[in-house]
């Protein structure tokens, strides 16, 4: 009777001790996965930081040499062209001076991002933005057409040949954002002049 009781107790103990062990194992696995994700994010952040610095330096040198009206975010590498530089009001046709600017700027920009980090570049995204004047759908159409005009020129015949052009042709995307990403003044009001813009930004993937 005592032995039977012991066997019952032992079986119950084995059952109850299994779940804490299983839970500990799951916790360990999750911790390893989290550490791996953190490591990948850290590496990605490091690559982004180095790339942004490289692009920033290259763009600043280009601006200094030619006086091009372009701004670059030194922490993200985001390049911004104002509407007045690129288009007439309500137009998606690139100005002649905008084309000449892109002929100078794009080869420098592309070389800056591909020469050392080409394997990590997954996309080059061209985004068109508008202000909040007019309907959302009208602005969406205009912003998309403007983004496409810039992207089309970057990989078209008119700009001529430059290093990595074939790669850019495969990686480039054009997106219209309408008024979804308005730029605000410090007082919270909308800065409509700054909101009307075209941006170029690379995207990184460490899996490539």
Tens digits of residue pLDDT in 28-54:
656 655 555 444 455 456 666 776 676
23 located within any domain = no
For residue 38, is it within any domain? no
How many domains are contained in the chain? 1
Ordered DSSP codes for 159-186: T---TTHHHHHHHEEEEE-TTTT--B-T
Domain membership flag for residue 94: yes
In a domain? residue 83? yes
Using pLDDT thresholds of 50, 70 and 90, give the confidence band for residue 1. low
Q: How far is CA 49 from CA 78, 102, 105, in A?
A: 12, 24, 21
- CATH number for the domain including 183? 3.30.1330.60
The whole-chain average pLDDT of the chain stands at: 81
Residue range of the domain that includes 172: 44-204
Per-residue confidence at 12, pLDDT binned at 50, 70, 90?
Answer: low
């Amino acid at each position: 009777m005592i032995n039977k009781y012991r066997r019952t107790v032992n079986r119950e103990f084995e059952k109850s001790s299994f779940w804490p062990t299983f839970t500990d194992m799951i916790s360990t696995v999750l911790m390893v996965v989290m550490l791996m994700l953190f490591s990948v994010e850290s590496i990605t952040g490091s690559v982004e930081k180095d790339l942004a610095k490289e692009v920033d330096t290259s763009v600043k040198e280009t601006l200094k040499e030619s006086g091009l009206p372009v701004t670059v975010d030194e922490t993200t590498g985001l390049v911004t062209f104002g509407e007045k530089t690129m288009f007439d009001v309500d137009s998606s046709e690139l100005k002649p001076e905008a084309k000449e600017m892109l002929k100078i700027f794009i080869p420098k920009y592309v070389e800056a991002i591909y020469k050392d980090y080409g394997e990590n570049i997954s996309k080059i995204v061209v985004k068109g933005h508008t202000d909040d004047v007019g309907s959302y759908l009208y602005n969406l159409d205009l912003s998309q057409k403007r983004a496409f005009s810039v992207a089309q020129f970057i990989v078209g015949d008119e700009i001529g040949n430059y290093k990595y052009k074939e790669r850019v042709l495969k990686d480039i995307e054009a997106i219209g954002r309408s008024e979804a990403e308005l730029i605000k003044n410090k007082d919270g009001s909308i800065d409509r002049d700054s909101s009307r813009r075209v941006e170029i930004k690379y995207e990184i993937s460490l899996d490539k």
